[in-house]
Structures are given as structure tokens and as C-alpha cells.
Amino acid sequence: MAADASAQTRRMLVLCPFPTGVAAAQRLKFEQYYDDWRRHGWTIDVAPYMDMDLWRVLFEPGHLATKIYGAIKGTLRRLRDLTRLRRYDLVYCHMYVTPLGTSALERLTRRLARRLIVDVEDNVLVGQSGVKNPNPVVRMLKGRGKAKYLIRRADHVITSSPALNETCRAMNEKGASTYISSSVDTDRFIPANSYSNDQTITIGWTGTFSTRPFLNLLRPVFEELARRRQFRLRVIGNFDYELPGVELDVVQWSADREVEDLQAIDIGVYPLSVDGWVTGKSGLKAIQYMAFGLPCVATDVGTTPMIIRDGENGLLVRTNDEWLAALERLIDDPQLRRRLGEQARRDAVENYSTKAVAEDYRRVIERVMADS
């Protein structure tokens, strides 16, 4: 669909927490569609709150001076952004305007923005149990109510799960909220697995500091599995990890090696806790594994059963015994891995590729432009 002449001068400002290309919550959601939006007549300016200096130490303990300096710079950038909001036809805000303090800047943004789309990731209304920012000052100052205000006042809300979408639709003054799945570039995320037992099977997990508690749920499972089967556990993240008694391969995530590192996995795992926060998760890890044609074992909770059909394109489990049985089956049976993985790949291309999801974003944007 070509952009019409009137769309050629439309301008969008993206307000987001993280630098471009580093955080999965942005990188595998809306960031992938900038070029598509440009092709449909938009000029896009991206305004991250954090710079790379702050991002590099964000989830590490210490570095207090760097974090304070980074927060000051980020806030000053946001104040500058406020002065130019009226120049844009649309402001696309991910999560919040600033992470700290009151909702004052969110309120100013709503007042100054001609049109406002708010993109929320995970269940921001509940909060994640067991996860704390390692900086106590950040924990103390982190603003509350920012996301609630933006969800209530936005012209439209984009959410990461059907459950979160229902909540946001009820909160939004216009009842305007749309669930858009996380997505991956299936032309880049391509299978390379031989589905063979000729070498040690690698079970893999990918995530960040904030999702490490979910990986920890499987520690007793991996310890017992190591007593029964030979396997390697690959952890791709931004933290160090230790698990005595288990052959471990810890890989620091990098954009340059992302595809290669995930292609080295034979089985993907997606453990989750069973609580209200998890109902807001998008199932991104499962979608990543599926794109690579990998069988995924996932906790049967939240959005996951919408993505994974047990026994068809992956395996759903609840208890540690079920986790153990599922992983043993997949380690022992390469043909089962092939059958599940090949169907997972087909589903990823059809339902969760950037080609499949691009129109969902365009539809929301055009609706906001037409209604406002």
C-alpha cells in the first residue's frame, strides 16, 4: 500500500526508555517497523531516555555516579523533547516518559501531544515479584502511577497480551486498546538445526537480568536432569550465571551474534511463574525459539497457550516433574524435536513474523490519525 500525498509530511516522535537496538521490549516490537512506517509516509524521530553509557550499567550493582549522571542527562533530554512535541502529528510513547519521579512529565506530554499512542510491555500495572533493580536509589525514586495515567489518557494503547489488553481497554477513557504480538524477522531468524543426537544436546534460554528469576525456577529441574541425561545448558543474557553440576555455556548477548547464538540451541525453555504479572507477558521467548525451528518447553500460563499448542508445535508444562519428563523426551527423541520444531517454524512465519504483524501497527496508527 503506497502512502497518499497528504501523508508525506506526517511526523512521529518516539519516546522510549532504551537506546535503539538493545532492549528486546523495543527491538522485537515497534523498532522493527520504523522502515515500514517511513514507507507509508512518516518521518520518524526517536528519542531514548537512556544513553548507552547508562544502559551498559543499568542492571549491574554499583556504578551509582554513572546512573545518577545518566538519569540527569535523560531527564534534561526529556525536557528538551517537551519543547518540540507540538511539531509532531503523533507521539508514540513506550511505557513512560521518564522512569523516575512523579507523573508530571507524562501529564505535560499528554497536554502537548496532538495525538498519543502508548505502548505497554508486560503487566506494568502489577509489578514483577522477585525482581529488584540493584540500585536502591532507583528503587526508591522510581515513579508510580505513570503508566496508569498514560494508559488512561492515551488516544490508543498497544499492549503485549490479551489479558493486559482487556485491563487497558477498561482503563482507557476512549476504550481504545489493541493487543499486538511481539514479532521477529523470520528472514533473519532462520533454522539451522539438524535435529540429530550426534552431539551433546543444548538446552537454551535467552533473557536479561529482569527475567533471570524465571530461569532460576528451573535450577532443580536442570540439576536432576544432569543426573539422568547428558546435555549442555546455554544461557544467553546480560549477566553471569552459575549452576554447579550442570554443563553450562554462558553467553553475553550481542546483536552481532544473536542469530548464531540462538541457532546453536536444540531445545528452548520458557519458564514462567504463575501470577498476575505473567499474564501481561507477550511470549516473546517462545516466538524466538519457534522462528529458529526449535521445540519449546514452556510454562502453561498467560499468553503461552495461545502461542504453543501442546504436542503440536511445542510442549506445555506446569510442575517440575512435567518439566523433567518433557526435557527427557526431547533429548531422547530427535524426530519429536524435528516434528515440533518444523511446525513451530511454520506458525512463526504465518503468525509472528514482521510481515504478518506490520499491518496491525499501521491499522492502529491510521485509526488514531483518523479519529483525532
Q: What digits encode the pLDDT tens for the residues 201-259?
A: 999 999 988 889 999 999 999 999 999 999 999 999 988 999 999 999 999 999 899 99
325 in any annotated domain: yes
Same domain, 231 and 363: no
- Residues 120-143 have a mean pLDDT of 54
Same domain, 152 and 136: yes
CA distances from 326 to 33, 56, 225, 261, 321 (A): 36, 36, 11, 23, 9
152 has a pLDDT exceeding 60: yes
Same domain, 217 and 260: yes
Same domain, 324 and 206: yes
Over residues 21-66, the pLDDT tens digits come to 988 889 989 999 999 999 999 999 999 999 999 998 887 889 999 9
Place of cell 533493580: 133
128 has a pLDDT exceeding 60: no
Same domain, 206 and 310: yes
pLDDT at 4: 44
CATH of the domain at 238: 3.40.50.2000
CA distance 366 to 369: 5
- Residues 344-353 have a mean pLDDT of 97
Sign (positive or negative) of CA dihedral 61, 64, 66, 67: positive
Please give the tally of structural domains in the chain.
Answer: 2
pLDDT at 142: 54
Same domain, 79 and 109: yes
Over residues 313-323, the pLDDT tens digits come to 999 999 999 99
Portion of the chain with pLDDT greater than 90, in percent? 81
Find the length of the chain: 372
pLDDT at 144: 62
Please give the residue that has the higher pLDDT: either 3 or 234: 234
Q: Is 63 left (phi over 0), alpha (psi -120 to 50) or beta?
A: left
pLDDT at 138: 45
196 in any annotated domain: no
Please give the residue that has the higher pLDDT: either 46 or 125: 46
129 has a pLDDT exceeding 50: no
Half-sphere exposure of 164 (CA within 13 A, CB side): 32
pLDDT at 248: 97
Place of cell 505502548: 119
pLDDT at 132: 47
Over residues 164-198, the pLDDT tens digits come to 999 999 999 999 999 999 999 999 999 999 999 99
84 in any annotated domain: yes
pLDDT at 293: 98
Domain interval for residue 85: 5-182+354-371
10 in any annotated domain: yes
Same domain, 137 and 220: no
130 has a pLDDT exceeding 70: no
CA distance 35 to 27: 13
100 in any annotated domain: yes
The strand ranges marked E within the chain are 10-16, 42-48, 90-94, 116-119, 156-159, 177-179, 202-206, 232-237, 248-252, 267-270, 296-299, 315-317
Mean pLDDT of the chain: 91
246 in any annotated domain: yes
pLDDT at 8: 60
Q: What angle do CA 350, 43, 87 make, to 5 degrees?
A: 130
- Residues 81-103 have a mean pLDDT of 95
- Residues 122-126 have a mean pLDDT of 65
Same domain, 362 and 347: no
Q: Which of 166, 110, 141 is nearest to 303 (CA)?
A: 166
- Residues 327-343 have a mean pLDDT of 98
CA distance 357 to 62: 40
133 has a pLDDT exceeding 50: no
Same domain, 154 and 209: no
Among the listed ranges 127-131, 273-277, 300-304, which one has the minimum average pLDDT value? 127-131
131 has a pLDDT exceeding 80: no
